[in-house]
Amino acid sequence: MSTLPARKFRNPRAKHDFKGRTCSIASVGSYVPDRIVTNAELEKLVDTTDDWITSRTGIKERRIAAADEFTSDLGAKAARRAMEKAGITADQIDLIIVSTITPDMPFPSTACLVQQKLGATRAAAFDLEAACSGFIYGLEVGQQFIMSRTYDTVLVIGAEKLSSIINWKDRNTCVLFGDGAGAAILQSRPNSHGLLTACMGADGAKAELLSMPGGGSRCPATVASVSDGLHFLRMEGKETFKSAVNAMCSAANEVLRRCEIDITQVKLVIPHQANQRIIDAVGDRLGTKPGQVFVNLHKYGNTSAASVAIALDEAVTSGQVQRGDLVLLVVFGAGLTWGAAVIEW
């Protein structure tokens, strides 16, 4: 029998016999590099304007990591901040999941490199690749280990050094992305529901819309692949935009339905930060009120797997989310992939 107090929502996991076990987000932390690159600086690199970038995307600036700062460094810094807030030490971590499309190298995993940096010697570690949907995929995978009692403490990180795969001569993409990392500590804590439900989706038929064609088994690195620019991120923006709005709305509605709540009961919606027009379209279709949708896109651009993790940390730190509030996370990215989650913070 659960000892949890009655809540005004349904916990979809209650139908399973978890004997009171829940998956709580004990803390979140984030890190962005110091270097700010403004739209004005990009005007000097490519044929673009601050006005175009601001009106078409909502982005004003982004953070770019130093040459000697890698995805594992960003992830480890975000993780240390989350660990400090949760009051846990590295030796308590059972599992590290790093969601990223910009690993330090193809192998070993960035999660193993983070494990070494944190000194989390007891932890198992692996990477998960779901592009911009990676943080929700990571939370959902991590919570399975908590609910099954396999592990007690799971560290989920979304970290990206997207600047390392951007073609700085391509105005269609270089203005959109930034570097950063966010981390969450998952634990089962008494009297806390935490992650109520999450859904994940994918459509590999649309893989070509957003990809980096080179560097894998299909197209290993050669002089020709490098000179053809196959090791840079490519995107068909308009088609990706349409798919994003549809997939994010249906994923959000799915998790609201599972929890038997409507949008008015959600304190804050935290969508993937890719484009202000996508965020507005999703907010409109879900029927959100002014101020109910969190935005930090103007400061960081699209940080892929780190995006909603950084946003959740900023929402908590700024007091926009308090313990007990319901938060809706909703994401979309290459794959295509998408997902949504309801959290009782």
Catalytic residue numbers?
Answer: 132, 272, 302
241 binds ligand UT7 (CB under 6 A): yes
Residue number, 31 or 332, with CB nearest to ligand UT7: 332
Residue 107 DSSP symbol: S
313-342: which residues touch ligand UT7 (CB under 6 A)?
332-333
Please state, in angstroms and rounded to a whole number, the distance separating the CA atoms of residues 236 and 239.
6
| Contact pattern for ligand UT7 over residues 198 through 217, marking x by CB under 6 A | ------------x-------
- Determine if the peptide bond prior to 108 is cis (ω within 30°): yes
How are beta strands 24-31 and 95-99 bridged, if at all?
unpaired
Does 240 bind ligand UT7 (CB under 6 A)? Our answer is yes
Selected from 64, 96, 166, 278, the binder of ligand UT7 by CB under 6 A is 278
Helix %, strand %, coil % for the chain, to 5?
A: 40, 20, 40
Structure tokens at 184: 């969450």
Report the chain's C-alpha Rg in angstroms. 19
Residue 226 identity: V
**From the list 171, 231, 267, 285, which residue makes contact with ligand UT7 (rule: CB under 6 A)?**
171
Residue closest to 333 by CA, chosen among 177, 184, 179: 177
Contact (CB, 8 A) for 323 and 345: yes
> Contact region for ligand UT7 (CB under 6 A) — 8-16, 212-220, 239-247, 313-321?
239-247
Question: Is 244 an interacting residue with respect to ligand UT7 (CB under 6 A)?
Answer: yes
* Residues touching ligand UT7, count (CB under 6 A): 21
Q: Does 52 bind ligand UT7 (CB under 6 A)?
A: yes
| Interface ranges with ligand UT7 (CB under 6 A) | 48, 52-53, 56-57, 132, 171-172, 175, 210, 237-238, 240-241, 244, 274-275, 278, 302, 332-333
